Amino acid sequence: MTQLERPVTTLFMLMSVDGKISTGASDSLDVDKDYPKIPGLREGLHQYYEIEQTTDLWSFNTGRVQAKMGVNEKPFPEKTPVSFVLLDNHHLNENGVRWFCTKSKQFVLITSNAAHPAFRVMEPNLHILFQKEFSLRNALISLRKDFGCERLTVQSGGTVNGLFLREKLLDYIDIVVAPVLAGGKDTPTLIDGPSLMSEEELSGLGILHLIDCTVLDDSYLRLKYRVLS
């Protein structure tokens, strides 16, 4: 697969200095909910959200992350110009699906669950990409070919981020680093999933070239890399 067959991808995330993308191992803990409460973090947090507003108009996430953020119970939001792509088998309910239909310009749901609640939703901007056997590569090819997605911002959880990395489907990394250490071996990190186990697997490492390093206010930092391999 050449890059032209799929969207150019950028992993955009907020993480702690030790690489954690959550404040702990429980689903009740979340940086979007917790950082605004913490002196020393809340003051500079707005910079991340301001940068987020400048990212690609196609955004990739997972149902698990979005369910954790409460979309299954939230009232419907206002329409945005962003098209959302969600990978989900069982975390979203019908309200969560409709929430994204309301928010999205186009909403593409990738699932291997033939009984997913999305099949009961009839909205003109909902597109279900059903895969009996999940293939991230094929999903990305379809996003470009069938929906015209040329650039995609990835904001999924550590496990799916790891899948992008191991399958060499990341082109750029754009990280905002918060001035905090979270710790904990079970706290989600930027890249989770199976670890490398032998020297033969070292080709799975993501080698990066630094494009830009910006010192933000309140001890926040922004790092931008191009993925070399």
d(CA 63, CA 15): 20
Superfamily of domain covering 3-227: Dihydrofolate Reductase, subunit A (3.40.430.10)
Q: Is the pLDDT of residue 2 over 80?
A: no
Question: Among candidates 145, 181, 154, which has minimal Cα distance to 24?
Answer: 181
d(CA 30, CA 68): 8
The pLDDT of residue 204: 86
In the sheet that holds 58-62, the strands lie side by side as 126-130, 107-111, 83-87, 58-62, 151-154, 8-16, 172-178, 221-227, 208-215
Torsion angle, alpha carbons of 62, 63, 69, 70, to 10: 160
**What are the domain boundaries of the chain?**
3-227
**Element housing 225 (H / E):** strand 221-227
Mean pLDDT across 134-150: 98
The per-residue pLDDT for range 81-111, each reduced to its tens digit, is 999 999 999 999 999 999 999 999 999 999 9
* 3-state secondary structure at position 178: strand
The pLDDT of residue 27: 86
